[in-house]
Chains A and B, each alone.
Chain A
């Protein structure tokens, strides 16, 4: 499940693969991707196709602090040989040193030639600007996919209706807001690269990509939340330790179907979101964590109510019962034993009081803390359960014994009477 998510996230940044992978993402060194928004910004401009030069101007005025924007090709490409003739290391206008090793066919996926020349370069007609309709013209096809060198099929299908309903869709955000034009490419272009960029498209790289996109993609607009996340147990592991087991933004929020996290349904569904990983015994075993936390949650008041509330026809009604993140935190989630954790023993009573005002220090023990009661922890609960485990069959067995005796006696008496006539 998670793997699939990551793989899809990775699909968002297929073209990132042109950029040599390095630790620079984590360190925030600007790369092509960082500069990408300039084109998106141009896309946000007027409704008429803007000539490249104008777009450049608009971009500059919008993002003056980004001098590294991929430069517009200021000349016509007509009659010119490969870019590298002039822009190679030995050329008249050599490209920057970090461009070394990039396939030359990819130049035009970042650098937009002037309007007049571009159509002549590619045989396929290129739209003057990248609209969502342009992207979806191909990506709304359900069978759009590519085969990775690993043999894995990667669906490139985008559910148009689901996107339109998503948080970004209702705000009419363009595809290029997250997928800057120089990070995407058409299928033809990727094929023209002879599959090279996708050689890197395997397991961990996909996760690396995921790690990159949230920092440069989501964080771009959601910076305060990203800062919280960076300090959380998940974010620290991802960013500081390069631990790729932890969730990033898209694992919980989705990608093209991002839901409003402030709705009741999102709340009620959230335990499932957490248990995608926290119910995975193999994954949790790696970190010495229990994979039964969902089960113990569902067995108690909060979890039962949330689960049943979700089944109801009107889940909006008063179901503000605690879900995982009400106690553990959301983007700022900490290790349970962290002194800053909301659920560490010292802070737990305060956390309970957020929903149960007036509760005292005894109150947290009303919740069995995800433990299965045993003779040491929540022993009273354990012994009550043991008592009924034996009392119920014992007492009912006694009743059955007595009733059986009387009925057998009655039967024998009646049979005897019947025989005697």
Chain B
């Protein structure tokens, strides 16, 4: 299709079942929050008020929003526990950690797009686009949880903080929520659906599998490492190297 790599028919497991479920919960929670939150952000506009009434009125919409919010709080807590386990106990690589290499990769990709460079940047398990999205998600989730709880429990919040934190939370919750919604629409839809690499739909996060061709094209450094490890194991006397051994990694959701 894109001329890179040879068709081996071989697939790798990229995401564990737990990670795939996490992604599913995130889709559900995020769109639930958008559906109930954006009309609140734009209340006063006819379409927003109409949506609120259609969903049963402002009290119902607020209740739903808080329920979806609570769901994502639980999911976020689970994510950090699971990640802590994988990193601390299984000694996985900090593959989602951004570094200077990501800046260099971005520069190389831009040069490549401008025909100033022959080759794409060579990515490891997560490319800088995915890291940007993951970090934005983590940052945004923390901000949304903190500001959302401040509005949910204003009396308790101002016991320790100045009162101004409540309207500031409202402003930040609205701004960050919009930013998250627009970013998902633009950046995630692009990288998971419209990008020439994956068009029309990247199934990896749902079935957990990725082909060797795509690994070669999108994550060549990871592929090389996986193959090298296989080779080492084979040399160490393992007669039947398993093709698709999931490598524990820090995963995005």
Nearest opposing residue in chain A for B157, CB measure: A366
Which one of A307, A388, A395, A400 contacts B171 once the chains associate, using CB atoms below 8 Å? A388
Check if B167 sits within 8 Å of A373, measured CB to CB: yes
Q: How far is the CA of A412 from the CA of B112 in the complex (A)?
A: 12
Q: Does B105 contact A (CB under 8 A)?
A: no
Q: Is A308 an interface residue (CB 8 A)?
A: yes
Tally chain A residues at the interface, Cβ within 8 Å: 49
A391–B174 Cα gap in the complex (Å)?
13
Q: Report whether A359 and B155 are in contact in the complex, using a CB–CB cutoff of 8 Å.
A: yes
Q: Which residues of chain A are within 8 angstroms of B158 by Cβ–Cβ distance? A: 359-360, 362-363, 365-366
B59 within 8 A of A: yes
Considering only CB atoms and an 8 Å cut-off, how many residues of chain B contact the other chain?
A: 44
Tell me the chain A residues, 298-331 only, with Cβ under 8 Å from chain B: 298, 300-301, 304-305, 307-309, 311-314, 317-319
CB closest chain-A residue, reference B40: A304
Binary flags per residue of A394-410, CB closer than 8 Å to B gives 1, else 0: 01100110110111111
Q: Given B44, B59, B167, B178, which contacts A392 in the complex, CB threshold below 8 Å?
A: B178
Which A residues touch B115, using CB under 8 A?
409, 412
A120 at the interface (CB under 8 A from B): no
Given known A298-B44, A312-B53, A312-B58, contact A391–B175 (CB-CB < 8 A): yes
Q: Is A282 in the interface zone, CB < 8 Å from B? A: no
Q: Which of A362, A380, A381, A403 gathers the greatest number of chain B CB atoms within 10 Å? A: A362
Q: From residue 43 to 57 of chain B, which have CB atoms closer than 8 A to chain A?
A: 43-44, 49, 52-53, 57
B contact residues around A311 at 8 Å (CB): 49, 52-53
A384 to B166, CA, bound (A): 12
B168 A381 Cβ-Cβ under 8 A: yes
- Taking the nearest CB of chain B, how far is it from the CB of A400, in angstroms? 7
Interface membership of B86, Cβ < 8 A: no
- Report the bound CA distance from A359 to B158 in whole Å: 8
Q: For the complex, give the distance between the alpha carbons of A381 and B166 in Å.
A: 9
Nearest CB in chain A to that of B136: its residue: A395
Which residues of chain B are near A368, meaning CB under 8 Å?
167
Alpha-carbon distance between A358 and B159 when the two chains are bound, in angstroms: 10
The answer to whether A409 and B186 have CB atoms under 8 Å apart is no
CB proximity of B8 to chain A, nearest CB, Å: 24
CB-contact partner of B176 in A313, A363, A388, under 8 A: A388
Assembled-state Cα–Cα distance A410/B190 (Å): 14
Q: Is the CB of B155 within 8 A of A381?
A: no
Across the interface, B175 reaches (CB within 8 A) one of A356, A364, A365, A387, namely: A387
Question: Which of A305, A364, A403 sits near B163, CB closer than 8 Å?
Answer: A364
B113 partner, pick from A318, A356, A360, A408, beta carbons under 8 A: A408
B172 within 8 Å of A by Cβ?
A: yes
Inter-chain contact B159/A403, CB cutoff 8 Å: no
User: What residue in chain A is nearest B50 (Cβ atoms)?
Assistant: A311
Contacts of A319 in B (CB 8 A): 59
A362 contact from B49, B163, B182, Cβ within 8 A: B163
Chain A: interface secondary structure? helix
Give bound CA distance, A365 to B183, whole Å. 33
Q: Does A378 contact B (CB under 8 A)?
A: yes
Residue of B nearest to A410 (CB): B196
Q: Does B162 contact A (CB under 8 A)?
A: yes
Q: CB of A385 within 8 A of chain B?
A: yes
Nearest chain-A residue to B188 (Cβ)?
A399
In the complex, what residue of chain A is closest to B128 when comparing beta carbons? Answer: A402
Assess whether A409 is in contact with B113, with CB atoms less than 8 Å apart. yes
Give the complex CA separation of A318 and B190 in angstroms.
43
A305 lies within 8 A of B58 (CB): yes
B18 interfacial by beta-carbon distance below 8 Å: no
What's the minimum C-beta distance from A305 to chain B, rounded to whole angstroms? 6
Collect the chain A residues with CB atoms within 8 Å of residue B172's CB.
384, 388
Q: How far is the CB of A405 from chain B (nearest CB, A)?
A: 4
- Counting chain B CB atoms within 10 Å of each CB, which of A307, A319, A388, A400 scores highest? A388
Q: A399 near B187 (CB under 8 angstroms)? A: yes
A12 CB to nearest B CB, Å: 38
- List, in ascending order, chain A residues with CB within 8 A of B162's CB: 362, 365
Report yes or no: B171 in contact with A384, Cβ–Cβ below 8 A: yes
A304 to B194, CA, bound (A): 38
How far apart sit A358 and B158, CA to CA, in the bound complex (Å)?
Answer: 11
Q: Is the CB–CB distance between A318 and B164 below 8 Å?
A: no
Q: Which of A309, A358, A412 contacts B155 (CB 8 A)?
A: A358
Which of B57, B176, B178, B187 contacts A308 (CB under 8 A)? B57
Quick one: given A308-B57, A312-B53, A409-B115, are A380 and B155 in contact (CB under 8 Å)? no
Residues of chain A within 8 A of B161, CB atoms compared: 362
User: Which single residue of chain A is at the shortest CB-CB distance from B155?
Assistant: A359
Measured in the bound complex, the distance between the Cα atoms of B165 and A400 in whole Å is: 33
Chain B neighbourhood of A367, CB < 8 A: 163, 167
**B57 surroundings in chain A (CB, below 8 A):** 308-309, 312-314, 317
- Chain A contacts with B in 59-80, Cβ cutoff 8 A: none
Instruction: Report chain A residues within 8 Å CB of B178.
Output: 388, 392
A396 to B188, CA, bound (A): 12
Are A317 and B114 touching (Cβ within 8 A)? no
Closest chain B CB from A15 CB (angstroms) = 47
Select from chain B the residue with minimum beta-carbon distance to A349. Answer: B163
Q: How far is the CA of A311 from the CA of B50 in the complex (A)?
A: 9
A359 to B113, CA, bound (A): 57
Given pairs A308-B49, A358-B155, A385-B171, 5 additional interface contacts (CB within 8 A): A307-B43, A359-B155, A366-B154, A381-B171, A406-B196
7 pairs, CB–CB < 8 Å, chain A vs chain B: A312-B58, A380-B168, A381-B170, A388-B175, A392-B179, A399-B190, A400-B186
Closest 10 CB pairs of A and B: A365-B163, A388-B175, A366-B166, A308-B58, A409-B113, A362-B158, A405-B113, A366-B163, A312-B57, A384-B171
**B residues lining the A interface (CB < 8 Å):** 40, 43-44, 49, 52-53, 57-59, 109-110, 112-115, 129, 154-155, 158-159, 161-168, 170-172, 174-176, 178-179, 182-183, 186-187, 190, 194-196
